[in-house]
């Protein structure tokens, strides 16, 4: 039952969706990385000007050393880290991703509730993602229901973290598109490219959340079946 559970078919489909979403991210990124924005400004310049426009002078911008698509905002140090092509590029992809990461900085500054909730969940989610798989496997192999229950509880925290991440990411993209348009960095014709880049990235979060939710449901069904 553990090796060939009926839920595995849906999980397999979700993995396929995740692979498709990842390929969509890369294809859209590379497609719009070849399209230069009319504003002729770099991701660094866009990020700095949006931050300053929102009074976030204490937020710094660094060039990430982790390679392509390693862009992120670190709330602990109040730092936006942009990968090389985004930091120095002036393409539609560069502007979209730079503005998106600044969107997270704006969320942090404004105390966006879902971001605060996600931060509060992080310790439990981190523990759950590390320990839950081991506890679930051991519990199922040893037929120890209490251990399975603990594993499900920990895994639930990790899944909830991913669920909460969805509105956080979509809100950051919404803020990014609004800032880029309001500040004149992109034209109406370029907005579609910005949306395509950001929407593709959001799909990867949707797919990973779906996989985690289906896996959780599988373990809940196993647990319920053993209790019966």
pLDDT digits (tens, 9 = 90+) for 44-74: 999 999 999 999 999 999 999 887 778 999 9
Q: Which two tokens stand for residue 16?
A: 């396929």
Domain assignment present for 127: yes
The predicted pLDDT at position 163 comes to: 97
Q: First-to-last CA distance in the chain? A: 15
Domain assignment present for 70: yes
CA separation for the pair 129, 208 (Å, rounded): 13
80-129 tens-digit pLDDT: 999 999 999 999 999 999 999 999 999 999 999 999 999 999 999 999 98
Marked catalytic residue, from 62, 101, 169, 182: 101
Residue 198 near residue 173, CB atoms below 8 Å: yes
Q: Decide: residue 203, CB within 10 A, 0-12 exposed, 13-18 middle, 19+ buried.
A: middle
Number of structural domains the chain divides into:
1
Q: Output Rg (C-alpha) for the chain, integer angstroms.
A: 20
The pTM (predicted TM-score) of the whole model is 0.89
Domain assignment present for 162: yes
Q: Which two tokens stand for residue 94?
A: 């560069």
Domain assignment present for 133: yes
Q: Which two tokens stand for residue 122?
A: 């992080």
Domain assignment present for 151: yes
When pLDDT is averaged across residues 13-32 and rounded to a whole number, the result is 93
218 has pLDDT over 60: yes
171-217 tens-digit pLDDT: 999 999 999 999 999 999 999 999 999 999 999 999 999 999 999 99
- Asked about 190 being catalytic, the answer comes back as no
Residue range(s) defining the domain that contains residue 177: 7-227
Domain assignment present for 2: no
Domain assignment present for 83: yes
């Amino acid at each position: 039952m553990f090796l060939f559970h009926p839920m595995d078919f849906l999980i397999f489909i979700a993995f396929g969706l995740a692979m498709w979403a990842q390929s969509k991210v890369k294809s859209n990124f590379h497609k719009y990385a070849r399209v230069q924005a009319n504003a002729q400004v770099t991701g660094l310049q866009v990020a700095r000007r949006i931050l300053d426009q929102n009074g976030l002078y204490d937020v710094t911008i660094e060039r990430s050393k982790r390679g392509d698509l390693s862009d992120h905002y670190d709330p602990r140090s109040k730092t936006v880290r942009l990968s090389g092509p985004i930091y120095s590029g002036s393409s539609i992809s560069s502007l979209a991703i730079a503005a998106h990461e600044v969107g997270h900085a704006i969320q942090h500054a404004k105390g966006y509730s879902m971001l605060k909730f996600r931060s509060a969940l992080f310790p439990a989610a981190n523990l759950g993602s590390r320990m839950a798989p081991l506890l679930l496997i051991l519990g199922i192999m040893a037929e120890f229901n209490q251990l399975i229950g603990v594993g499900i509880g920990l895994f639930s925290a990790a899944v909830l973290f991913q669920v909460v991440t969805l509105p956080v990411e979509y809100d950051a993209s919404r803020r990014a598109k609004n800032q880029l348009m309001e500040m004149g960095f992109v034209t109406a014709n370029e907005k579609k490219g910005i949306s395509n880049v950001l929407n593709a990235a959001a799909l990867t979060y949707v797919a990973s959340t779906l996989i985690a939710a289906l896996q959780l449901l599988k373990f809940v069904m196993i647990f319920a079946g053993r209790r019966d």
